[in-house]
Amino acid sequence: MNKKNFVIDIIIFLAFLVAMEPNFSGVAVHEWLSLALAATIVVHLLLHWDWIITIGSQFFKKLWHTSRLKFVVDILLFISVVAIMISGIMISRVILPTLGVEIQSGMAWRVIHSTSADLSILLLGVHFALNWSWVWDKCKRYIFSPIGRLFKHKTTQPAIAVINDEPGS
């Protein structure tokens, strides 16, 4: 389960980075990738549902302050991402027209979209920092250890012995 979570987290992080810069990816990629990202975030939440319920039910009881802080940051990040998605749909220039839907989007939706995107970047950084020990542990286990074993395997192969059978040597 940890490996699956780690892979999904990496996918979310990389997709988020690409989606956050529509000038880099283009509006169409930005919108479709963001829609896929929303689905991936739902999977992420479902995989962590037990933690969400456990921490949520114990929020006002005796609980480590880090877990409480993580919970608050995650709730704010969730709200911010929902605001990005709703406002993004409201200002869509690709997905909605492709589906034959026309909506008059006002400037307020663009401001909400931009503000919530900026806030999400900040909250994602805090989320990442609060979970750094887990991220580092998984990087060591699933990335660095396999690479290290690969190089160790290559260097532990027996060397070819050179025998000098000239007389007097």
Q: What separation in angstroms does the CA of 126 have from each of 72, 76, 114?
A: 11, 11, 19
Reported as a pLDDT band with limits 50, 70 and 90, residue 40 is confident
Residues in the chain: 169
Q: What is the pLDDT of residue 18?
A: 82
Q: Which residues contact 4 (CB under 8 A, 6 or more apart)?
A: 47
Q: What is the pLDDT of residue 80?
A: 94
Q: What is the pLDDT of residue 63?
A: 58
Q: What is the pLDDT of residue 157?
A: 56
pLDDT score of 58 more than 80: no
Q: Which amino acid belongs to residue 54?
A: T
- Between CA 125 and CA 18 the distance in angstroms is 15
Q: What is the pLDDT of residue 102?
A: 85
Radius of gyration of the chain measured on its C-alpha atoms: 24
Q: pLDDT of 110-159, one tens digit each?
A: 999 999 999 999 999 999 899 899 888 888 888 888 887 777 766 555 55
